[in-house]
């Protein structure tokens, strides 16, 4: 309890500092403040209390008509982290430039906020990308365009950033066509992560393959009562994929392949919005050993009590086949998740 109190005090100090920093901004300028508080628990958590407390604060304010500063703080029971500290310049109506620290997105789970996802937890592919370090905060520059109702229904991003987790540069790109409104998606997201610094600067030539890639193809529509989504993702393994204690090294190209399909329908019993949905996920962590795989069937319930109060309740089963030493074994795991969020 004392640790949580200390973290909240740290978050409060950072908040007060930033508010003080923004005080000189004229009242006529735009200042946006968003807060998000959540309680989450699921089958993958390994903390002794089996739950997580989450909070986020996001500030955005205009310095000039075409220049904006943003700070996004994320807090849990253990730490307060700066997810984003960026400076945004509106270069054109179709192009913004962002400089600073920011997170990237390579799947729809990462592209959408936690409160807008159909399920309480991310897909196996999204979790795998987190484990490998493909999706994380980095320092760099990003050119992007958000969806706008006027004009062509397109959004894109192109970013180059230094990735501290791997001591490497990373290049990401994404192109999405919003065929039925802002919450419909058809397009591609990709990442290129070379091990050039390891090979040519740190002289660690056996660290891994020089060129590593992730490609995600997505098609989803969340605009109508009938909600659906399809994703296919392929990429290079950076870590031991199936428990063989054999991290991919030079000349040992290793690939993974995964896919997700989900279907849901929005209901309105009374004053709440309820969306039951089912998702089937398949992941092959190592394509040369196809018998090692993971299959999940998850039943989700997404309930909106109001615009700002949301609840996810999930359940399901996972069949996971992996190596334990030299032996391939299969286990059946129950899946469950509860995620309650209040957004201000």
Domain 93-343 - what CATH class?
Answer: mainly beta
Instruction: Give the pLDDT score at 293.
Output: 94
Neighbours of 246 (CB within 10 A): 13
Instruction: Give the pLDDT score at 12.
Output: 45
Q: How many angstroms separate the CA atoms of 35 and 30, rounded?
A: 17
Instruction: Give the pLDDT score at 26.
Output: 46
Of 302, 258, 311, which Cα lies nearest the Cα of 123?
258
Q: Is 129 helix (H, G, I), strand (E, B) or coil?
A: helix
Instruction: Give the pLDDT score at 102.
Output: 92
Instruction: Give the pLDDT score at 238.
Output: 86
**Per-residue pLDDT tens over the stretch 156-212:** 999 999 988 778 899 999 999 999 999 999 999 999 998 877 666 666 655 667 789
Instruction: Give the pLDDT score at 27.
Output: 41
Domain boundaries, the chain: 1-92, 93-343
Q: How many angstroms separate the CA atoms of 149 and 147, rounded?
A: 7
Instruction: Give the pLDDT score at 244.
Output: 63
Which residues have CB under 8 Å from 339's CB, separation 6+? 38, 39, 40, 41, 42, 114, 120, 121, 311, 312
Instruction: Give the pLDDT score at 2.
Output: 41
pLDDT < 50 regions, the chain: 1-9, 11-13, 15-28
């Amino acid at each position: 309890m004392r640790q949580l109190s200390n973290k909240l005090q740290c978050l409060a100090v950072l908040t007060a500092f930033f508010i003080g920093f923004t005080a000189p901004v004229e009242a006529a300028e735009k200042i946006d403040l968003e807060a998000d508080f959540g309680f989450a628990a699921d089958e993958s958590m390994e903390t002794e209390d089996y739950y997580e407390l989450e909070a986020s604060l996001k500030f955005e304010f205009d310095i000039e008509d075409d220049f904006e500063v943003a700070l996004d703080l994320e807090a849990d029971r253990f730490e307060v982290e700066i997810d984003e500290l960026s400076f945004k310049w509106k270069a054109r109506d179709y192009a913004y430039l962002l400089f600073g620290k920011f997170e990237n997105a390579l799947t729809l789970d990462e592209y959408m906020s936690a409160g807008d996802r159909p399920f309480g937890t991310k897909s196996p592919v999204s979790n795998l990308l987190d484990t490998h370090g493909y999706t994380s905060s980095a320092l760099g520059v990003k050119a992007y365009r958000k969806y706008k109702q006027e004009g062509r229904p397109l959004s894109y991003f192109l970013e180059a950033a230094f990735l501290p987790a791997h001591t490497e540069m990373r290049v990401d790109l994404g192109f999405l066509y919003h065929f039925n409104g802002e919450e419909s998606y058809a397009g591609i997201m990709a990442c290129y992560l070379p091990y050039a610094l390891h090979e040519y600067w740190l002289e660690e030539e056996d660290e891994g393959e020089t060129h590593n890639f992730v490609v995600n193809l997505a098609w989803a529509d969340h605009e109508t009562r009938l909600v659906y989504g399809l994703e296919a993702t392929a990429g290079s393994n950076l870590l031991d994929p199936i428990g063989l204690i054999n991290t991919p090294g030079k000349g040992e190209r290793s690939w993974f392949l995964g896919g997700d399909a989900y279907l849901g329908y929005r209901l309105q019993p009374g004053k709440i919005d309820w969306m039951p949905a089912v998702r089937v996920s398949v992941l092959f962590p190592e394509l040369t050993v196809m018998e090692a795989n993971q299959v999940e069937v998850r039943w989700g319930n997404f309930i909106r009590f109001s615009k700002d109060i949301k609840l996810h309740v999930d359940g399901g089963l996972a069949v996971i086949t992996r190596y334990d030493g030299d032996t391939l074994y299969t286990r059946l795991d129950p899946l469950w998740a509860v995620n309650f969020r209040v957004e201000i």
